[in-house]
Structure 1
Amino acid sequence: MTRPGERKVLVDFYARVSEVIDLRSFSNLWFWIALAVMWSTASHWVIGVPWDLVQRARRRGGAAGEDVNQLSRIYAGRLRHIGTSAGLWIVAIGAFLLTTLGLLGFRYGIEFAQALFCLGFPMMLVGGLSLRTAFRIEDLSGRELYRALAAHRRQVQGLGVVSIFVTALWGMYQNLRIGVL
């Protein structure tokens, strides 16, 4: 048995939850926060090595330089192993998922799938860049390693700028088309 005001409270609760968890992603603040955090993290962790450690190693050397050499050797070796042992499966499954998201999003107009595609496609490219850099830095150390890590970071940041720009344009188009703004 429900009290007279109880039904309105439940309706208000579900209305609030549906506002917070909105599948119209491009008009949702959480999507843009996730996009910013994703690219910030991708440009800070260069093949598993934090960028501030690379800068410290570049300036001072010593223990920081040894840490960068060891971390890059460990993470690059790990990426090379994953790439050679399961790379084909990862690419096949990733391509299947991105194709599915692309079809659902852009062919059938599901905005949530479009948003996931806008997050996933550039990160797959970052994965390919990371694997390429992991093979390139296999025998590097010191200044050459720092230069290779810096070049990789610039590539990831450039890809991030283009990705954020394209995602923002598509998001604005979606919002204006639907009439949210």
Structure 2
Amino acid sequence: MNWLDTAFTLIDMRSFSNLWYWIGLAMVWSTTSHWVLGVPFDMVARARRYGGQAEADLEDMVRINVNRLLFIGRVSGLWLVALGAMGLTALVILGFWYQLEFAQAVFLIVFPLSFVGGLSFSTARLIVAQGLSGEALRRRLLRHRQTTQVIGMISIFFTAMWGMYQNMNLGPFG
């Protein structure tokens, strides 16, 4: 047995039984719920607490990121949706038809993030359409963050259930 076989025996390289996959999943959802429309959520809390310049900074950051998101949606939104759908379809076929565990693992991270992307675009449109600022803007960002966290909790739950099923189905040395 060479050193590579020994390393692969000690470190399980399957996705759902690998600790690094679960750390990565937690980091993805932690980061996703912290950055609301590209704005760190601590800016929202600081604007609520201190007002003044912190409020102006928040509104500027939101305005910049919302305009950027809406521009990307106008210019290449249809292409992004088409490429995203193609990528998700490829992951579904590879993962669940051909039983490739890595594709299943990637799908279970990326698919819920596509909902967050749609939610972000919808929230950006609402902010511009309603001309939100001040307290109303902070409430909208909080609602967006809470919805993102719910999507994340559901995603982590289903990923954990599928991962446990895969680990029990394949056994320790799948």
TM range (shorter): over 0.9
Could you list the per-position Cα deviations for residues 132-172 of structure 1 after superposition, in whole angstroms to 9, with x for gaps in the alignment? 00111112110010000000001100000000000000000
Consecutive unaligned residues of structure 1, counting only runs of 5 or more, are: 1-7
**C-alpha distance in 1 between matches for 2:9 and 2:80:** 34
For residue 62 of structure 1, report the CA deviation from its aligned partner: 1.3
Aligned equivalent of 2:6, options 5, 15, 22 = 15
What SS does structure 2 have at the residue aligned with 1:26?
coil
State TM-score, norm by structure 2: 0.94
Number of residue pairs matched by the alignment: 171
Q: Please name the residue that 2:115 is paired with.
A: 125
Instruction: Give the aligned partner of residue 172 of structure 2.
Output: 180
- In structure 2, runs of 5+ residues without a counterpart are none
* Match status 1:151 vs 2:143: yes
Mapping 1:1-181, distance limit 5 Å: 11-13=2-4, 15-16=6-7, 20=11, 22=13, 24-138=14-128, 139-180=131-172
* Residue identity (%): 52
Moved over 2 A (4+): 17-21
Quickly say closer, same or farther: Cα 1:87–1:19, change in 2 above 3 A.
Answer: farther
Bigger Cα Rg: 1
DSSP-derived class of the 1:116 partner: helix
RMSD: 1.5
Partner residue, 1:5:
none
